[in-house]
Amino acid sequence: MSKDEQIDELRDEIEELKNLIKNLSKSQAEAYKDFDASDRELEEKERKLNEKIQRDIERANRRKEREEHIHVRGPKPPKPPKPAKPAKPARHARPASPAKPVKPFFADDFNFDFDFDFDSDEFKDKMKTIMKKVEKASEEGMKTAKKVSEKLSKDFHKFLEKETDKITKGVELSDEDYAEMKHDVSKERKHIDKAQREVDEARKEVDEARRYVNSIQRRLEHAYRDNDVKKQVEIEKDLLREEKVLMDSMSHLSRTRSELAQTRREFARLQRRAGKIRAAQKKGHGPIIISRDKLGEDGTISEYVAKVVNSVGKNLESTFRTAVGDRKKGVRKVLSVEDDINLISPNGRVDIEALEQFYENAAELLSALGDKNRLKLLKILENSPQYQKELSEDTGLRGGTFKHHTDILQDEGFITREAIRGRYLITQLGIEALKLAEMIYLREKQLEEEEIDIDIED
């Protein structure tokens, strides 16, 4: 067989296969259509049936009420049937399955037959035991709730008195007293936790009782359906009584719970107060706690005072720092006096070279401040950066004079200038220098006033 013939044969085969595929896809599409139609039919029937069932139940309920003329709290209306979910669209990958024959489904097929006999002794016994359990649970709940509330109120009053006493005597608090107070607080916290557990238990019991009542309600519903009127009345009476008992125990529980919450709030308030006292003590505003080991042999606190004075000295030393501008990077570098100017050498002598440098640099810095126009410039720039024009208008300086003053301030690192917009900004060193000038001025003024006072007294 030649190649051409083979190719022709293959082509024929391909065409046949194509036809086959077409036929298959057609039959598949038809099958899908049938399947969808049957789904829709089923859905429609279900919906109609549900509606009919609901109508029947409602009608039956209304008829019963009319016949008996008894005003009782009826059972909960049956839940409306959930709307049927829309049928899922058939997946393309799913093989076409033959449409299932739908079984005819009518309302007559549906009945309310229950296996349980409500008149039987077994049911009565069960009901009795349930009632007993409910009664028992509610009584226990009441008892526990009462116990908890009494205990809580007692504990709370005791704790409140004790802590109020301690806080009023807070000025005389020592370390030991404070520790005792903390211990008491933790003890009370434990008590509250225990009470909380008890309340939780009571709540569980009430929940259980509630479940029993619910179960009775369900039974009552069944009885309604069974049309046993006498039984219904009896169960309903019992149910009402039990519900009342349950409601009482629940309200008691809620009262107990609110009392517990109040106790907790008070406890938290006390804790906050204790915390505030502690914080105030740390800052030195409140009563100071002095541990006994800090007291001297004779009970004085001289050593302690000496320590405090030393720490104040250290603080003063650290505040005596100066901001030195790094000319190149320049705006935030802060060095301490100790690091930068070693006025005293390690062997205790005065370092003359360091002093010379100090004299020279300090004189330069102060001379940059020694002009009212430059001080004016610094004061204006303290608030916000300014363009040359604005500064010139505010200070009255123009041209060369303006440049002279700004150059001096820039050289000493008191001000700097933006490279792009050209605004002038005050540096950190500039702010410090301005503050120094203001401080000297105010101090001088104060001294002058004091002198005048002395003269008047003389």
Partner 1 sequence: MRLYIKNRPLKITHSFEYTFNNKQVKISLSKNTILLPIFDEKKNRQIGYILDGPVGIIADLLVHSQEGAVGELIDEIYSNVLLFPVNLPFLTPDHVKEIQPLEDISKHEEIVKKYRVQIVHEEYISYEEREGVMIQTYNPSSLWFISKDSTFLIDTEEIIGRREEKKLFWLVKDSFTTVNNKGHVKSTKDLFSITKVQKTVHRILDTPLTSIFSRFSEIFASI
Q: Closest approach of Cβ 338 to partner 1, in Å? A: 17
Question: Quick one: angle between helices 175-226 and 121-168, nearest 10?
Answer: 160
Q: Closest approach of Cβ 414 to partner 1, in Å? A: 9
Residue type, 286: G
Decide if residue 418 touches partner 1 (CB under 8 A): yes
Choices 125-133, 193-201, 363-371, 412-420 (CB under 8 A): range interacting with partner 1? 412-420
- Cβ distance 397 to 405 under 8 Å? yes
Decide if residue 336 touches partner 1 (CB under 8 A): no
Interface pattern 40-59 for partner 1 (x via CB under 8 A): --------------------
Unique residue bearing structure tokens 């000493």? 412
Among 137, 213, 365, 426, binds partner 1 (CB under 8 A): 426
Interface pattern 384-403 for partner 1 (x via CB under 8 A): xx------------------
Among 138, 198, 232, 430, binds partner 1 (CB under 8 A): 430
- Cβ distance 320 to 337 under 8 Å? yes
Q: Residues binding partner 1: what is the number (CB under 8 A)? A: 18
Q: Closest approach of Cβ 330 to partner 1, in Å? A: 8
- Cβ distance 324 to 336 under 8 Å? no
Q: Closest approach of Cβ 427 to partner 1, in Å? A: 5
- Cβ-proximal residues to 184 (8 Å cutoff; 6+ apart), any chain: 159, 162, 163
> CA 376, 377, 382 angle in degrees (round to 5)?
100
Unique residue bearing structure tokens 């909960």? 76
Choices 65-73, 351-359, 416-424, 447-455 (CB under 8 A): range interacting with partner 1? 416-424
Residue among 252, 262, 256 at smallest CA distance from 160: 262
- For partner 1, the closer CB: 302 or 318: 318
Among 329, 349, 372, 389, binds partner 1 (CB under 8 A): 329
Q: Residue 416, exposed/middle/buried by CB under 10 A (0-12, 13-18, 19+)?
A: buried
Decide if residue 331 touches partner 1 (CB under 8 A): yes
Decide if residue 420 touches partner 1 (CB under 8 A): yes
DSSP for residue 116: -
Decide if residue 239 touches partner 1 (CB under 8 A): no
Decide if residue 427 touches partner 1 (CB under 8 A): yes
Tokens matching residue 445 = 């003024």
Q: Residue 424, exposed/middle/buried by CB under 10 A (0-12, 13-18, 19+)?
A: buried
- For partner 1, the closer CB: 96 or 425: 425
Residue type, 288: I
Tokens matching residue 390 = 């604005």
In degrees and rounded to multiples of 5, residue 386 shows phi and psi of: -135, 150
Tokens matching residue 117 = 């006999």
Q: Closest approach of Cβ 322 to partner 1, in Å? A: 14
Residue among 160, 39, 48 at smallest CA distance from 102: 39
Q: Closest approach of Cβ 432 to partner 1, in Å? A: 8
Choices 142-150, 186-194, 307-315, 426-434 (CB under 8 A): range interacting with partner 1? 426-434
Tokens matching residue 339 = 């690091």
Among 332, 398, 403, 445, binds partner 1 (CB under 8 A): 332
> CA 246, 252, 257 angle in degrees (round to 5)?
125
Tokens matching residue 139 = 């009584």
Choices 143-151, 224-232, 311-319, 419-427 (CB under 8 A): range interacting with partner 1? 419-427
Q: 3-class SS at 335?
A: strand
- For partner 1, the closer CB: 355 or 431: 431
- Cβ distance 426 to 414 under 8 Å? yes
Decide if residue 368 touches partner 1 (CB under 8 A): no
- For partner 1, the closer CB: 207 or 418: 418
Among 85, 91, 314, 421, binds partner 1 (CB under 8 A): 421
Whole-angstrom Cα Rg for the chain: 48
Decide if residue 319 touches partner 1 (CB under 8 A): no
**Which residues in the 149-208 window bind partner 1 by CB under 8 A?**
none
- For partner 1, the closer CB: 286 or 385: 385
Calpha distance 279→272 (Å, rounded): 10
Among 57, 289, 375, 431, binds partner 1 (CB under 8 A): 431
- For partner 1, the closer CB: 144 or 416: 416
Q: Closest approach of Cβ 329 to partner 1, in Å? A: 6
Calpha distance 5→379 (Å, rounded): 106
- For partner 1, the closer CB: 90 or 335: 335
Decide if residue 419 touches partner 1 (CB under 8 A): yes
Task: Provide the binding-site residues for partner 1, judged by CB under 8 A.
Answer: 329-332, 384-385, 416, 418-421, 425-431
